[in-house]
Copies of this chain bind each other. A is one copy, B any other.
Amino acid sequence: MEALKQRIIKEGKVMPNGILKVDGFINHQVDPQLMDACGQEFARRFANCGATKILTAEISGIAPALMAGRHMNLPVVYARKSKPITMPDQVYLTVAPSHTKGRLVELIISPEYLAGGEKILIIDDFLASGATIVGLARLAQTAGAKLVGIGTLIEKTFEGGRALLSYLGIPIVSLVRIASMEDYQIVFAD
């Protein structure tokens, strides 16, 4: 998606440890218009996927998921990383390694909002190693829901997430694909 790509060129910054910093428009400061355009693009790409619900993980997945949900007229559930007191005792819980936090994080969903028979579209900000998305997929499958697609804003193709997720056999859409960040230079895949 050209608008997102141009914004990455203009403001994205490669950090040590292979982190792409996009804190100016996705991860700390958010550009609502850009996120809305991304949501519209997800809606276009997943128009026929039959999703009944969008699933994401807090925190950075919320903005793109919410805008996709707006354009697709679907509710959005975000997996929590800690269990709030409003959640019932019995929950769906898994753990996934977090690249930016450097440790395992929990992903927790209340059974109230993830039922068997739902068709789940996963939306997240990054597809890197794929670990978070595997965690979300595991939660959805544990609940008896069916996965129908995965959409991410930015894919780092060199981290292998797409191959890891191929076992799911569902469409994977990334709006921008980055093939390399060697020597702190962003090289796009397309």
Contacts and interface: CB of A to CB of B under 8 A. Distances in A.
B66 A30 contact: yes
Interface in A45-89: 58-59, 62-63, 66-67, 69-70, 73-78, 80, 82, 84-87
Contact of A86 (B23, B66, B74, B77): B23
Which DSSP category, helix, strand, loop or mixed, fits chain A's interface? mixed
A28 B82 CA distance: 12
Interface string A135-177: 0000000000000000000000000000000000000000000
A85 B30 contact: no
A128 to B, nearest CB: 14
15 contacts: A19-B85, A21-B86, A24-B112, A24-B113, A27-B86, A28-B78, A28-B110, A29-B76, A29-B112, A30-B62, A30-B69, A31-B75, A32-B73, A62-B62, A85-B102
Contacts of A58: 58-59
Contacts of A80: 28, 59
A52 to B, nearest CB: 12
B100 A86 contact: yes
Closest 5 CB pairs of A and B: A32-B69, A32-B70, A29-B113, A21-B86, A30-B76
